[in-house]
Protein backbone atom coordinates (compact mmCIF):
# COMPACT_ATOMS: atom_id res chain seq x y z
CA UNK A 1 0.00 0.00 0.00
CA UNK A 2 1.33 3.41 -0.90
CA UNK A 3 1.65 6.00 1.86
CA UNK A 4 -0.39 9.16 1.56
CA UNK A 5 2.78 11.23 1.93
CA UNK A 6 4.13 10.07 -1.43
CA UNK A 7 1.13 11.65 -3.16
CA UNK A 8 1.93 15.15 -2.00
CA UNK A 9 3.32 17.40 -4.69
CA UNK A 10 5.37 20.14 -3.00
CA UNK A 11 6.21 21.69 -6.37
CA UNK A 12 9.06 24.17 -6.43
CA UNK A 13 10.38 24.56 -2.87
CA UNK A 14 12.79 27.39 -3.62
CA UNK A 15 13.15 30.26 -6.08
CA UNK A 16 16.55 31.58 -7.11
CA UNK A 17 17.03 34.91 -8.92
CA UNK A 18 20.48 35.84 -10.07
CA UNK A 19 20.47 39.63 -10.03
CA UNK A 20 24.13 40.19 -10.95
CA UNK A 21 26.90 38.42 -12.84
CA UNK A 22 29.26 39.26 -9.96
CA UNK A 23 27.16 39.02 -6.80
CA UNK A 24 28.66 40.35 -3.58
CA UNK A 25 25.64 39.56 -1.44
CA UNK A 26 23.49 36.48 -1.07
CA UNK A 27 20.01 37.63 -0.01
CA UNK A 28 18.03 34.80 1.57
CA UNK A 29 14.36 34.87 2.54
CA UNK A 30 13.37 31.58 4.14
CA UNK A 31 9.86 32.66 5.14
CA UNK A 32 8.89 34.35 1.88
CA UNK A 33 5.78 32.31 1.10
CA UNK A 34 2.64 31.10 2.84
CA UNK A 35 1.91 28.48 0.18
CA UNK A 36 0.63 25.16 1.49
CA UNK A 37 0.39 22.37 -1.10
CA UNK A 38 -3.26 21.60 -1.84
CA UNK A 39 -3.03 18.00 -0.63
CA UNK A 40 -2.23 19.23 2.89
CA UNK A 41 -5.62 21.01 3.12
CA UNK A 42 -4.18 24.13 4.72
CA UNK A 43 -2.80 21.95 7.55
CA UNK A 44 -6.27 22.25 9.09
CA UNK A 45 -5.92 26.03 9.59
CA UNK A 46 -8.37 28.66 8.40
CA UNK A 47 -7.61 31.25 5.71
CA UNK A 48 -7.05 34.00 8.28
CA UNK A 49 -4.35 32.02 10.07
CA UNK A 50 -2.74 31.03 6.78
CA UNK A 51 -2.54 34.71 5.79
CA UNK A 52 -0.98 35.71 9.13
CA UNK A 53 2.62 35.83 10.40
CA UNK A 54 2.39 32.27 11.70
CA UNK A 55 2.51 30.96 8.11
CA UNK A 56 5.16 33.33 6.69
CA UNK A 57 6.91 36.69 7.12
CA UNK A 58 4.57 39.25 5.55
CA UNK A 59 6.45 41.89 3.54
CA UNK A 60 9.83 40.15 3.86
CA UNK A 61 10.00 38.91 0.27
CA UNK A 62 9.26 42.35 -1.15
CA UNK A 63 11.99 43.92 0.99
CA UNK A 64 14.41 41.10 0.09
CA UNK A 65 13.64 41.63 -3.62
CA UNK A 66 14.12 45.37 -3.23
CA UNK A 67 17.43 44.85 -1.48
CA UNK A 68 18.54 42.31 -4.09
CA UNK A 69 17.73 44.81 -6.84
CA UNK A 70 19.90 47.48 -5.21
CA UNK A 71 23.10 45.53 -4.42
CA UNK A 72 24.94 43.04 -6.68
CA UNK A 73 23.27 39.87 -5.46
CA UNK A 74 21.61 36.50 -5.77
CA UNK A 75 18.18 36.19 -4.18
CA UNK A 76 17.04 32.88 -2.72
CA UNK A 77 13.47 32.66 -1.46
CA UNK A 78 11.44 29.86 0.05
CA UNK A 79 8.29 28.93 -1.81
CA UNK A 80 6.47 26.88 0.84
CA UNK A 81 4.98 28.01 4.15
CA UNK A 82 7.21 27.67 7.18
CA UNK A 83 4.38 25.73 8.81
CA UNK A 84 4.93 22.93 6.29
CA UNK A 85 8.68 23.04 6.85
CA UNK A 86 10.67 25.92 8.35
CA UNK A 87 13.86 26.13 6.26
CA UNK A 88 15.57 28.12 9.02
CA UNK A 89 15.45 25.04 11.27
CA UNK A 90 17.47 21.80 11.05
CA UNK A 91 15.54 18.57 10.49
CA UNK A 92 15.99 17.46 14.10
CA UNK A 93 14.36 20.60 15.51
CA UNK A 94 10.80 20.16 16.70
CA UNK A 95 10.00 23.65 15.41
CA UNK A 96 10.97 22.63 11.85
CA UNK A 97 7.45 21.19 11.46
CA UNK A 98 5.64 22.93 14.31
CA UNK A 99 2.67 21.29 16.00
CA UNK A 100 1.93 24.67 17.52
CA UNK A 101 2.74 28.19 16.31
CA UNK A 102 2.41 31.03 18.81
CA UNK A 103 -0.96 30.10 20.35
CA UNK A 104 -2.36 28.17 17.40
CA UNK A 105 -2.40 24.42 17.05
CA UNK A 106 -1.40 23.16 13.62
CA UNK A 107 -3.58 20.05 13.19
CA UNK A 108 -1.93 18.95 9.94
CA UNK A 109 1.44 18.66 11.69
CA UNK A 110 0.27 16.45 14.54
CA UNK A 111 1.12 12.79 14.71
CA UNK A 112 3.26 12.70 11.57
CA UNK A 113 5.11 9.47 10.97
CA UNK A 114 8.91 9.59 10.58
CA UNK A 115 8.32 8.86 6.91
CA UNK A 116 6.03 11.87 6.53
CA UNK A 117 8.55 14.14 8.29
CA UNK A 118 11.36 12.86 6.10
CA UNK A 119 9.27 13.46 2.97
CA UNK A 120 9.03 17.15 3.92
CA UNK A 121 12.76 17.35 4.70
CA UNK A 122 13.55 15.84 1.30
CA UNK A 123 11.03 17.94 -0.62
CA UNK A 124 11.61 21.32 1.04
CA UNK A 125 14.62 21.61 3.37
CA UNK A 126 17.19 19.82 1.23
CA UNK A 127 16.45 21.61 -2.08
CA UNK A 128 16.38 24.96 -0.28
CA UNK A 129 19.80 24.55 1.30
CA UNK A 130 21.22 22.89 -1.81
CA UNK A 131 20.19 26.04 -3.71
CA UNK A 132 21.97 28.24 -1.16
CA UNK A 133 25.13 26.09 -1.38
CA UNK A 134 25.04 26.12 -5.17
CA UNK A 135 24.61 29.91 -5.31
CA UNK A 136 27.60 30.36 -2.99
CA UNK A 137 29.68 27.95 -5.06
CA UNK A 138 28.82 29.70 -8.31
CA UNK A 139 29.66 33.13 -6.87
CA UNK A 140 32.64 32.09 -4.76
CA UNK A 141 34.98 34.63 -6.37
CA UNK A 142 32.77 37.61 -5.60
CA UNK A 143 30.32 36.85 -2.79
CA UNK A 144 31.22 38.27 0.63
CA UNK A 145 28.05 38.40 2.64
CA UNK A 146 24.87 36.44 3.32
CA UNK A 147 21.90 38.46 4.54
CA UNK A 148 18.71 36.72 5.63
CA UNK A 149 15.61 38.93 5.61
CA UNK A 150 12.70 38.32 7.98
CA UNK A 151 9.70 40.13 9.43
CA UNK A 152 8.13 39.78 12.86
CA UNK A 153 4.74 40.54 14.31
CA UNK A 154 4.28 43.75 16.34
CA UNK A 155 2.28 41.83 18.95
CA UNK A 156 3.38 38.37 20.05
CA UNK A 157 1.47 36.34 22.59
CA UNK A 158 -0.45 39.47 23.56
CA UNK A 159 2.69 41.55 24.17
CA UNK A 160 3.60 44.62 22.07
CA UNK A 161 7.14 44.80 20.75
CA UNK A 162 8.87 48.18 20.58
CA UNK A 163 11.93 47.09 18.62
CA UNK A 164 11.48 47.91 14.93
CA UNK A 165 14.56 46.45 13.27
CA UNK A 166 16.59 43.62 14.77
CA UNK A 167 20.16 42.88 13.65
CA UNK A 168 20.98 39.29 14.61
CA UNK A 169 24.08 37.17 14.31
CA UNK A 170 24.87 33.51 14.49
CA UNK A 171 28.24 32.13 15.61
CA UNK A 172 30.05 34.94 13.74
CA UNK A 173 29.11 38.32 15.25
CA UNK A 174 31.34 40.50 13.04
CA UNK A 175 28.92 41.79 10.44
CA UNK A 176 26.11 42.41 12.92
CA UNK A 177 28.49 44.40 15.13
CA UNK A 178 29.72 46.37 12.13
CA UNK A 179 26.13 47.08 11.06
CA UNK A 180 25.28 48.35 14.53
CA UNK A 181 28.34 50.63 14.37
CA UNK A 182 27.23 51.89 10.92
CA UNK A 183 23.61 52.55 11.92
CA UNK A 184 22.26 55.36 9.79
CA UNK A 185 22.36 58.60 11.84
CA UNK A 186 19.10 59.86 10.54
CA UNK A 187 17.26 56.57 11.03
CA UNK A 188 13.95 56.97 12.77
CA UNK A 189 13.82 53.29 13.61
CA UNK A 190 14.36 51.61 16.94
CA UNK A 191 17.24 49.30 15.95
CA UNK A 192 18.48 46.61 18.37
CA UNK A 193 21.11 43.91 18.34
CA UNK A 194 19.79 40.35 18.74
CA UNK A 195 16.16 41.37 19.24
CA UNK A 196 13.37 40.33 19.23
CA UNK A 197 15.18 36.98 18.88
CA UNK A 198 18.74 35.78 19.08
CA UNK A 199 20.77 32.71 18.22
CA UNK A 200 19.60 31.18 21.51
CA UNK A 201 16.10 30.95 20.02
CA UNK A 202 17.45 28.71 17.25
CA UNK A 203 16.82 31.28 14.53
CA UNK A 204 20.29 31.40 12.97
CA UNK A 205 20.41 27.98 11.32
CA UNK A 206 20.82 29.30 7.76
CA UNK A 207 23.53 31.76 8.83
CA UNK A 208 25.52 29.14 10.72
CA UNK A 209 25.08 26.42 8.13
CA UNK A 210 26.46 28.47 5.23
CA UNK A 211 28.33 31.51 6.59
CA UNK A 212 31.49 30.52 8.48
CA UNK A 213 32.25 27.38 6.46
CA UNK A 214 32.30 29.44 3.25
CA UNK A 215 34.21 32.36 4.75
CA UNK A 216 31.22 34.66 4.33
CA UNK A 217 30.07 37.43 6.57
CA UNK A 218 26.53 36.77 7.69
CA UNK A 219 23.68 38.65 9.31
CA UNK A 220 19.95 38.24 9.87
CA UNK A 221 17.67 41.26 9.59
CA UNK A 222 14.29 41.16 11.35
CA UNK A 223 11.85 43.95 10.44
CA UNK A 224 8.61 44.60 12.34
CA UNK A 225 5.96 43.79 9.77
CA UNK A 226 3.77 46.85 10.37
CA UNK A 227 6.62 48.93 8.90
CA UNK A 228 6.58 47.14 5.55
CA UNK A 229 2.92 46.81 4.65
CA UNK A 230 2.80 48.96 1.54
CA UNK A 231 4.85 49.04 -1.68
CA UNK A 232 6.21 52.44 -0.72
CA UNK A 233 7.21 51.34 2.76
CA UNK A 234 8.90 48.22 1.37
CA UNK A 235 10.80 50.31 -1.18
CA UNK A 236 11.90 52.77 1.46
CA UNK A 237 13.09 49.96 3.73
CA UNK A 238 14.98 48.29 0.85
CA UNK A 239 16.65 51.63 0.05
CA UNK A 240 17.78 52.13 3.62
CA UNK A 241 18.99 48.56 4.06
CA UNK A 242 20.92 48.63 0.78
CA UNK A 243 22.72 51.81 1.74
CA UNK A 244 23.37 50.57 5.26
CA UNK A 245 24.79 47.26 4.02
CA UNK A 246 26.98 48.97 1.41
CA UNK A 247 28.29 51.33 4.10
CA UNK A 248 29.02 48.40 6.40
CA UNK A 249 30.87 46.45 3.70
CA UNK A 250 32.85 49.59 2.95
CA UNK A 251 33.68 50.17 6.62
CA UNK A 252 34.90 46.57 6.98
CA UNK A 253 37.06 46.94 3.89
CA UNK A 254 38.58 50.16 5.15
CA UNK A 255 39.13 48.78 8.60
CA UNK A 256 40.86 45.71 7.20
CA UNK A 257 39.74 42.46 8.77
CA UNK A 258 37.17 42.98 11.48
CA UNK A 259 38.34 42.03 14.98
ZN1 LIG B 1 11.20 34.69 9.52
CATH number of 249's domain: 3.40.630.40
Residue 88 placed within a domain:
yes
Average pLDDT over residues 16-44: 96
pLDDT bracket for residue 256 (50, 70, 90) = low
Band of residue 9 on the pLDDT scale cut at 50, 70, 90:
confident
Single out the residue of 142, 149, 113 nearest to residue 23, CA to CA.
Answer: 142
Q: Which of 197, 195, 219, 188 is nearest to 206 (CA)?
A: 219
pLDDT > 90: what percent of the chain? 87
Say how many domains are in the chain: 1
Q: How far is the CA of 2 from the centre of ligand 1 (A)?
A: 34
The neighbour count for residue 155, using CB atoms within 10 Å, is 10
Least confident of 94-98, 100-104, 125-129: 100-104
> 185 in a domain, yes or no?
yes
Q: What is the pLDDT of residue 6?
A: 54
Ligand 1 centre distance from Cα of residue 71 (Å):
21
Report the separation in Å between the CA atom of 104 and the middle of ligand 1, taken as the mean of its atom positions: 17
- Mean of pLDDT values over 179-191: 89
Domain with 202 in it: 4-254
Residue 143's SS3 state is coil
* Residue 259 resides in a domain: no
Residue 102 lies in a domain: yes
**DSSP H helical segments within 114-218, as ranges?**
114-120, 126-138, 174-181, 205-210
CA 187 from centre of chain: 23
CA angle 192, 195, 197 (to 5 degrees): 165
Amino acid sequence: MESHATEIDYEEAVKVSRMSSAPRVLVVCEHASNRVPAQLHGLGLNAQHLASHIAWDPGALEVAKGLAARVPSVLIAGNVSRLVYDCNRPPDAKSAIPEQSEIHDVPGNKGLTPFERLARVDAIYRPFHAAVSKAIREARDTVELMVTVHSFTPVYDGKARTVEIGILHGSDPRFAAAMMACRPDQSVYDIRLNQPYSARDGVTHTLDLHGPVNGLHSVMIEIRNDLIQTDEAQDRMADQLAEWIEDTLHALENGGQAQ
